[in-house]
């Protein structure tokens, strides 16, 4: 009797297994396999941007190279970017005689340039393809570097029309305030991210060369000197008037 029950139980188990297998085979899979995503690409799928080290060297920057709103008189429309190569500053014109000033790294000797361009493309965590001209000068460079914290273009890139140049971030904050690049404009990752969020494709970009920048600087210094002279003359005039008034009362 026990052998009979055992035999029947085994038959039921086999039938149950067949039925379960049939059901599973006829039911479409609902879950998709997990995609393998490079850590540097997680932000593209809704994940937060990977941490960057742009602020690790920013504390060592001179005060004038740190992002700040300053008094800045310009005839250009608000939203215009003005790059002062000589002083290694980039200005975003706000209007009302104000601008945001950022510290930048610029082209080394022989690689500075000037002109008026526009932003033709904006890219987050851009890939880097060194141009042919750069590879000819530096053949040891890689042919491709994927976007991410280790990429020399940093967190953001603003591509300038009709050129090979970009305004981009950097993974080396120590280059800010220096003439080190092959013509591109470098910014702290935090600064280029801030600028990226404020400007659009089509934004006007004015790059002032060394001579133009020096002329502007000399003009500003001349204006500053004139204003100081006026202030000094005004103070002297007020002193003389006060002295005359006091003497008259005596």
Query: What residues are labeled active site?
Result: 168, 184
Helix (H) or strand (E) holding 237: helix 210-249
Measured CA to CA, the distance from residue 80 to residue 148 in angstroms comes to 28
In contact, 119 and 201? CB cutoff 8 Å: yes
Cα-based distances in Å from 249 to 124, 148, 235, 240, 241: 73, 77, 21, 14, 12
Polymer length of the chain: 250
Helix (H) or strand (E) holding 132: helix 132-137
Measured CA to CA, the distance from residue 94 to residue 67 in angstroms comes to 14
Measured CA to CA, the distance from residue 172 to residue 151 in angstroms comes to 10
In contact, 100 and 69? CB cutoff 8 Å: yes
Measured CA to CA, the distance from residue 99 to residue 15 in angstroms comes to 80
Neighbours of 84 (CB within 10 A): 22
């Amino acid at each position: 009797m026990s052998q009979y029950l055992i035999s029947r139980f085994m038959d039921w188990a086999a039938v149950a297994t067949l039925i379960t297998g049939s059901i599973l085979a006829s039911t479409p899979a609902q879950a998709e396999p997990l995609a393998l995503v490079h850590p540097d690409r997680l932000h593209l799928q809704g994940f937060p941007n990977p941490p960057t080290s742009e602020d690790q060297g920013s504390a060592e920057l001179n005060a004038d190279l740190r992002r700040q709103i300053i008094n800045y008189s310009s005839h250009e429309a608000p939203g215009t970017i003005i790059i002062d190569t000589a002083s290694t500053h980039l200005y975003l014109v706000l209007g009302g005689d104000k601008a945001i000033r950022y510290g930048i790294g610029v082209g080394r000797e022989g690689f500075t340039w000037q002109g008026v361009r526009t932003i033709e493309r904006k890219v987050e965590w851009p890939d880097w393809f060194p141009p042919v001209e750069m590879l000819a000068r530096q053949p040891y460079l890689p042919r491709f570097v994927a976007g991410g914290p280790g990429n020399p273009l940093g967190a953001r890139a603003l591509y300038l029309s009709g050129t090979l140049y970009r305004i981009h971030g950097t993974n080396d904050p120590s280059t800010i305030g220096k003439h080190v690049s092959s013509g591109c404009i470098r910014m702290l990752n935090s600064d280029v991210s801030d600028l990226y969020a404020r400007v659009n494709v089509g934004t006007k970009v004015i790059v002032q060369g060394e001579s133009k920048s020096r002329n502007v600087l000399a003009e500003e210094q001349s204006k500053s000197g004139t204003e100081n002279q006026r202030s000094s003359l005004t103070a002297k005039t007020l002193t003389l008037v006060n002295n005359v008034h006091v003497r008259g009362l005596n």
